[in-house]
Amino acid sequence: MTALLDIRNLTAVFPGGRRREPVRALSGLTIALEKGESLSVIGESGSGKTTLLRCILGHVSPSEGSITLFGQDTASADGAEMTALRRRCAMVSQDPYGSLPPTLTVLEAAMEPWLLVRGKHAAGEGEERARNLLAELGLRDETILSSRVRLSLSGGQRQRVAIARALILDPELLLCDEPTSMQDASTRGEIIGILAKRQQSGMSMIFVTHDLFLARKAAPRGIVLHKGLVVEEGLCRDILSAPKHPYTRALVAALPRLTSHGRPK
């Protein structure tokens, strides 16, 4: 069976500026993802997580290695072919303030990808889908749906609008870059549950996070990135309970622990 996503020896190097050394964002990364499979990518800021997602979508060209997406080598894809590949994917950006169109209402922002692909003649179906997704994500109030994104939404609400935008076209591959960083614990769990339902229907997902507990909830399998290198991989529960690499052990040691009084240390 051909993997939905097959990455081999991916290396991404950004040129340095004047008197600065080139920056190696990724080095020799190899992963594969099947239909309906999910993967957590764990690491701190600067570890290469976002660069990986941008390479998959063709926004960053690899310095070495290859990326095969839906059976197509992205390096050999022309503009039209790359556009077609991207339409089978969706991405939830790390920045819900910069990634949403500020002049649109919440409902319009959620509908926009649908209208761009399906056309205005499908606006009725798009609005229904957008309303259902927003309601599933806890945004039901008509006052919120009709308000402009830039005026009245919290960071957590913006993240949920971004997730609705990403899901409206039923992507085959969803790339999530810290998609719940501004949610409280209960909402975070609900969003993971919503994404898990889509995976049961065949959607694949890469879930980027610095939170090992969240990584375990989002996907059974994970990799740990450190300075662009995969330093550990396997089942997330094993990575969390018995980390092997010193960097992973440091991440686990930094997690909050409950005291005998039920409070974090």
State residue 256's pLDDT score. 75
State residue 224's pLDDT score. 96
| Beta partners for residue 54, in sequence order | none
| Beta partners for residue 175, in sequence order | 91, 206
Domain 1-88+171-265: give its CATH architecture.
3-Layer(aba) Sandwich (3.40)
State residue 236's pLDDT score. 96
CA proximity to 149, closest of 98, 91, 103, 94: 103
Q: Give the start-to-end residue ranges of the domains of the chain.
A: 1-88+171-265, 97-170
Per-residue pLDDT of the chain (265 residues; tens, 9 = 90+): 578 999 999 999 998 777 778 889 999 999 999 999 999 999 998 899 999 999 999 999 999 999 999 999 999 999 999 999 999 999 999 888 888 988 999 999 999 999 999 998 999 999 999 999 999 999 999 999 999 988 778 899 999 999 999 999 999 999 999 999 999 888 999 999 999 999 999 999 999 999 999 999 999 999 999 999 999 999 999 999 999 999 999 999 888 764 444 444 4
What's the whole-model pTM score?
A: 0.92
Report the chain's C-alpha Rg in angstroms: 19
For residue 189, give Cα distances in angstroms to 33, 61, 75, 104, 213.
Answer: 23, 34, 37, 28, 11
State residue 43's pLDDT score. 92
Question: Phi/psi of residue 244, each to 5°?
Answer: -100, -40
Distance CA 153, CA 155 (A): 7
For residue 138, give Cα distances in angstroms to 93, 153, 158, 186, 200.
Answer: 19, 13, 12, 11, 21
Query: Do 92 and 166 meet the contact criterion of CB atoms below 8 Å apart?
Result: yes
State residue 263's pLDDT score. 46
